[in-house]
Amino acid sequence: MARIWYKGFTRLVVFKLTGEVFLNMKPQVNPYAPGAGRPPPELAGRDAILAEARIAVQRNKLGRAARSFMFVGLRGVGKTVLLNEVRIMAEEEGFITELIEVGTKHTHLSFTIIKILRAALLRMDRSKRVSEQVKRGLRVLKSFIGAAKIKYGDIEFSIDVDEEIGVADSGMLAQDLAEVFVAVGEAAKARKTAIVILIDEIQNLPAEEFEALIMAVHRTNQRDLPIMIVGAGLPSLIKMASDAKSYAERLFEYPKINSLDRKEARRALVKPAIASKIKFENEAIEAIIEHTKGYPYFLQEWGHQVWNVATKSPITIADVRKASNLAIKRLDQNFFLSRYERLSGPQKDYLRAMAELGPGPHKAADIAKAMKKTTRQIGSTRDGLIVNGMIYSPRHGMSAFTVPMFDEFMKRARN
Ligand SMILES: Nc1ncnc2c1ncn2[C@@H]1O[C@H](COP(=O)(O)OP(=O)(O)O)[C@@H](O)[C@H]1O
Ligand SMILES: [Mg+2]
């Protein structure tokens, strides 16, 4: 009798345990979030950067000099995610925020700026008292639209006020944009709010527009106006900014966004699973960190695959082995291949030669040598790769991949 009871009891316990684990581990509840800009289940390793960002945003509103800043890092380290975090933070503070993503085939900055500043001014205009500063902001913006119309053709935005003749209507982007920023900044100040403009993939801005933006920020900074830019982009943007205006180096902070160290990489993996009572064997975590080198995008991909492969807790090294093949396949298809397919034949040859030399950075001269060419002969290929954001130049005459582990992908892609 006791024996039967015992058997029934253990069966119940086993069923209960495996049943529960199985439910907790279903793909439907997979917590990991591989994908551009997808918020991770655990934002690891960014506390210090976010705390600094919050202070800068708050200073801005108080009218204390606060430097605009730009998150700088390779693809997949989590810049877009951070930009969205800053946006949420600024909204919580009651600020007006607008987000722009600069594409490679991007529409003129003027158009985008008009759209977002118009939205910002109309939001301020709606609130309680009529403010002369907000009205003036709208008039100056209208002048800017007039000038942009002459330069670029029709623009569909209309504003129901008269133009502010002689302000922001010279047709010179740098001058006009600065005047618009000042007018809008003054409106925000009068309204006791702040405007935060978030710009993703900022390295795609053409030089003229980048320069105009820098000058506009410079002008509003000098007057301590509550309007700030928070950007994100590839490492090449630092040089682009200082090439455009030498003072850009002092005007902005450039927080470097890197891969996660071991402790934070572990946190990014373990914490989301714990919420579903799922654990990892230590060996399994170590193996994932080894494969991903702590790059956030890769951590999400490995986490995602190993979750789907595993059938019970704890997740084991055997699970990781199975998941790795799937993760690499998915990365090749989504993260790497989409970039590779856009390249010309000579560009692929260049990257292949680079990959053969290892992860890099490499001297451009060594790459040329590996290709049995002179640096000059491959100069335009290198420039093309920099423009389309595949490589950047960390120091003069050097080339480095903007995509982590792209060298390993290039070696796979050849087979
Ligand atoms: N701090 C982090 N911890 C864990 N995962 C992250 C972190 N930051 C980003 N990720 C993940 O990395 C991937 C890439 O993020 P994304 O912001 O698109 O990178 P980037 O804009 O730098 O290319 C996303 O899947 C995201 O969930
Ligand atoms: Mg991004």
CA distance 410 to 271: 33
pLDDT in tens, 223-257: 999 999 999 999 999 989 989 888 888 899 999 99
- Is 60 exceeded by the pLDDT of residue 59? yes
pLDDT at residue 10, as a whole number: 46
Answer with the residue of higher pLDDT: 206 or 1: 206
CB under 5 Å of ion ligand 2: residues = 79-80
Mean pLDDT of the chain: 89
Distance 259 CA to ligand 1 centre (A): 10
* pTM beyond 0.85: yes
- Is 90 exceeded by the pLDDT of residue 150? no
Residue 202 and residue 389 in contact, taking contact as beta carbons nearer than 8 Å: no
pLDDT at residue 127, as a whole number: 67
pLDDT at residue 65, as a whole number: 67
- Is 90 exceeded by the pLDDT of residue 1? no
- Length, in residues, of the chain: 415
DSSP string, 125-172: HHSSS--HHHHHHHHHHHHHHHHHHHHH-------SS---TTSS-SS-
pLDDT at residue 105, as a whole number: 75
Average pLDDT of the segment spanning 74-83:
97
Give nearest CA residue, ligand 1 atom 15.
Answer: 78
Residue 109 and residue 197 in contact, taking contact as beta carbons nearer than 8 Å: no
Q: Which ligand is nearest to the CA of 296?
A: 1
pLDDT at residue 12, as a whole number: 45
pLDDT at residue 8, as a whole number: 47
Cis amide prior to 255 (ω within 30 degrees): no
Which ligand 1 atom sits closest to the C-alpha of 82?
17
* Residue 208 Cα distances to 40, 71, 142, 178, 302, angstroms: 35, 21, 22, 13, 41
pLDDT in tens, 318-363: 999 999 999 999 999 988 988 898 899 999 999 999 999 999 899 9
- List pocket residues of ligand 1, CB cut-off 6 Å: 33-38, 40, 43-46, 73, 75-81, 268, 296-297, 299-300
pLDDT in tens, 388-403: 899 999 999 999 999 9
Percent residues over pLDDT 90 in the chain: 69
- Is 60 exceeded by the pLDDT of residue 3? no
Answer with the residue of higher pLDDT: 7 or 236: 236
Give nearest CA residue, ligand 1 atom 9.
Answer: 78
- Is 90 exceeded by the pLDDT of residue 212? yes
Average pLDDT of the segment spanning 277-302:
96
SS3 329: helix
Answer with the residue of higher pLDDT: 305 or 169: 305
CA distance 22 to 167: 66
Average pLDDT of the segment spanning 131-144:
92
pLDDT at residue 13, as a whole number: 46
SS3 361: coil
- Is 80 exceeded by the pLDDT of residue 7? no
pLDDT at residue 111, as a whole number: 83
Single-letter amino acid code for the residue at 290:
E
pLDDT at residue 176, as a whole number: 94
- Is 80 exceeded by the pLDDT of residue 21? no
Distance 312 CA to ligand 2 centre (A): 34
| Least confident interval from 118-127, 183-192, 342-351 | 118-127
